[in-house]
A and B are shown apart, each in its own frame.
Chain A
Amino acid sequence: MFLANRVVVLAVVLLAVVMIGFTITRSTGTPLYASLGVAVSEAIIEQRAEEMGLNEPIVVQFWTYLTHLLQGDLGVSRISRIPVAEDIALKLPATAEMVFFTLVVSFIWAIPLGVRAGLRPGGRLAKLGEGMAQFGVSVPAFWLGLLFIFLLYFLPPRINFVIPVIDLAVGPFPPLFPPPLGRLGGVDPPAMVTGFYTVDALIAGDFRLAWEALWHLILPAVTLSLTSGPPLFRVTRTAVSEALASPFVEAAYSYGLGRRTVLIRDVLRNASPPVLNLAAMTFGYLIGGGVLVEVVFSWPGIGSYAVWGMDNSDYDVVLAVVIIAAVIYVILYFIVDLIQFAMDPRLRD
């Protein structure tokens, strides 16, 4: 019953998402001028409109779009004449890889600090975490990315001075990170298996290439992690401190269990569901939420693709990216819901 209910809701939400995306991008008067320019005759415009099905009523257009969408056809780019679905298949892994490593970075800083802050509020590490969270919330991701590029790519080779008294020459250093020009620096990408360059390079047995791909990933991932990690930190902190104050932890202590055992067996295990939940949501959100960071690092993902489509008035591209990102988010939400339902018997009444 619950499952059937959720599936119906999922279908309705997905349909609404496609519908809203469609009406928003199609409500422009004529997208024709955008693709043809103004200096063409009426006849050509008329012919093109007929070709693109723009003379049909919008409901019919939507139906056509929807049926094509269900067959995996997202239309054709009006500029490059490449099917949008093909482009997305190439670009989605780039975005997914960046977002995946963003979460990896968040798991390195936000969650340990959150656990620590929950265990010992007011401690030094708790304050560090809160400071980083405050910073991450206030700073725009794209600006932080630019700052990193300046400090870690541009500046190191230009540091060149001598400390007077001890006569020590400092710098120039090599750039700590590669120029912000995409996933690899002019090297051929590995054979496509998963679309994650790091994984593909390892499958091909090319460790240098894997390192190269990872090196290009670090800055975008750190940038996104600092700005999207604060909620993870805070949720972890709350979850841990709540678990710590709960009766079952008190009970565990009264059984005479050691601190470490209680921490792992009771506190962390009970604190993990909301954290994993949020991590999954963050993943879904960042698929479309990392647009600006992609632009800053010239990352060839779906975000830059959407911006490219926008700049060229290529609305099928914009629409496709919007729908894909929203659908991924909705489906992830659905899966998280199901997992929670499976894990927590209390939800089943």
Chain B
Amino acid sequence: MTTTSPRRERRLLARALVGPTVGITIRRSLFFFMLFLAVIGPWIETIGQWIPMPVYDPLRPDPFNPVSPPSAEHWFGTDTLGLDIFTRVIVATRVDFTLALIGVMLGGGLGCLAGAWASYRRGWVDMIALRIVEVVQSFPVLLLGIALFAALGSLEIFGPVDNGMAVLVIAISLVNFPLYLRQVRSVLLPLTEAEFVQAAKCAGLGAWGIVWHHFIPNARGQILALFPLTCAYAIQIIAGLSFIGLGIEPPNPEWGSMIKTGATLIVQGHWWVSVFPGAFIVLSVYSLTGFSARSETLVGPGGTSA
């Protein structure tokens, strides 16, 4: 139906061989760069002494230099308190990555188990699992976060753990639980009648044994494909909640709360306060999604409107 000229064909072939891999490689190296930043975060000041890079204490205000534009002393400028944005943006990488990772692992892990269990048991267990998914997913993510903060935000029930961070992790895991449950269930449902399951049953393996040893490994590919996407999504949720003042309290570096600081300044032309933290969010989300070959499977309608 469509005719292809030889030139076009050659171009398509070249792209198939080189094109996508180059793009993906760039994105993956970008991710490892972000990971590197997350690792060195707390020692950024020490590193600044070895290589010529203007880094400062991310928490020490400089009252003589508030809202100064990007310069040689402050590469990304300073905010209202005179805090150096370059340093803070780097230090914040670890905060955002860690919270996203913990939240996704917690909620995703439970979701996988529940999904495998539901697809093994079927019947009413499956039905209840699906209803739970339906109910949780009918709450808009950010409103769910707001409600959680309304409930838990002022309670000091997490002991030594920072309250805002704990609630953020709970919110992220609550969002991820149904995503993983659904995905795992849809992969495993056809396997319930498979011969190896029958064999395992005959061999006397219990239900949890079958779920753990035979079901979950079969969904590994799906879980791994979902993992980077949900981490990216989690970063956006963390930043979004911090943007409305929930989660990480302002003097601590976090991308969303840094954007919040700059939100009122941007109509006065002080763009750098918000632009750089936001650019780091974009970079990390973009690099993370590079890990999923199946980036089509987005998390839901308007999935990333965080």
Contact = CB atoms under 8 A, between A and B. Distances in A.
Interface of A: 9, 12-13, 16-17, 20-21, 24-29, 120, 122, 134, 136-143, 146-147, 149-150, 153-154, 158, 179-180, 224, 227-228, 230-231, 234, 238, 253, 278, 281-282, 284-293, 295-296, 303, 306-307, 310-311, 313, 315, 318-319, 321-322, 325-326, 329-330, 333
Interface string B259-294: 100110011110100110010011001100100000
B2 interface: yes
B200 interface: no
A100 to B, nearest CB: 14
Interface string B1-21: 110000000001001000000
A285 B142 CA distance: 11
A285 B269 contact: no
Interface in B212-266: 232, 236, 239-240, 243-246, 256, 259, 262-263, 266
B131 to A, nearest CB: 7
A285 B271 contact: no
B262 A146 contact: yes
Contacts of A138: 232, 282, 285-286, 289, 304
Main secondary structure of the interface of A (DSSP, over half): helix
Interface of B: 1-2, 12, 15, 131, 134-136, 138-144, 146-152, 154-155, 232, 236, 239-240, 243-246, 256, 259, 262-263, 266-269, 271, 274-275, 278, 281-282, 285-286, 289, 295-296, 298, 300-306
- The residue among A25, A138, A313, A318 with the most chain B CB atoms within 10 A of its own CB is A138
Contacts of B136: 20
A142 B139 contact: no
A155 B171 CA distance: 37
Contacts of B304: 136-138, 227, 230
A331 B139 CA distance: 12
Contacts of B306: 140-141, 292
A139 B150 contact: no
B278 A140 contact: yes
Nearest to B237: A140
Contact of B266 (A150, A158, A287, A330): A150
Contacts of B12: 122
A329 B136 CA distance: 11
